[in-house]
Structure 1
């Protein structure tokens, strides 16, 4: 996969993830800064590293599953892996303006 194609797919994934609204804060997870990294390997294998606003968030599994399902619908994605992390811990400063 060319670097340009990879970058285009990563951008498409981030755009798709804007549809997912955090149930607690009512804003999309990209603007909230909950998506730490998006990468795509050859063969359309997408990796998303994300967090939640707090460790033990009751919506963690809901958000993780929503991200996985959303990524699957991006053209060219053949497999979606979502990793939840709390390093670094999320803070309101990570939100976009």
Structure 2
């Protein structure tokens, strides 16, 4: 019998993994920075992540989404992962967590 995985627990595991990925220009992880707009997990344990970048001209526009996808795929329960980039709404400092603002001396 196939083991049933709680998608909420898997979602928490995904967020933990996202918090290990840092924007190379800002010493804050991409989750606290507000670059992750949505994390969706379906019943087949396929993950879709909707994220943005700090700007369309971001130097890591090619590599950061691939890093996110690879790290999420490295989670044992995840069968597949897809990262979609959007600029709607555009990223702003308002999307940063209090923790990120504190880290960057913005509070």
Runs (4 or more) in structure 1 with deviation over 6 Å come to none
TM-score, L = length of structure 2: 0.83
Partner residue, 2:84: 83
Query: What CA deviation, in whole Å up to 9, does each residue of 1:8-35 have, x standing for no partner?
Result: 1111101101110101112100010000
Gaps of 5+ in 1: none
TM-score, L = length of structure 1: 0.91
> CA separation in 2, counterparts of 1:70 and 1:61?
15
Gaps of 5+ in 2: 99-107
3-state DSSP class of the match of 2:90? Answer: coil
Q: Alignment length, in residue pairs?
A: 95
Partner residue, 1:6: 7
> CA separation in 2, counterparts of 1:20 and 1:61?
15
> CA separation in 2, counterparts of 1:78 and 1:6?
12
CA positional deviation for 1:6: 1.4
> CA separation in 2, counterparts of 1:30 and 1:6?
19
Match status 1:30 vs 2:26: no
> CA separation in 1, counterparts of 2:79 and 2:62?
21
Partner residue, 1:59: 60
> CA separation in 1, counterparts of 2:47 and 2:73?
9
Superposed CA RMSD: 1.4
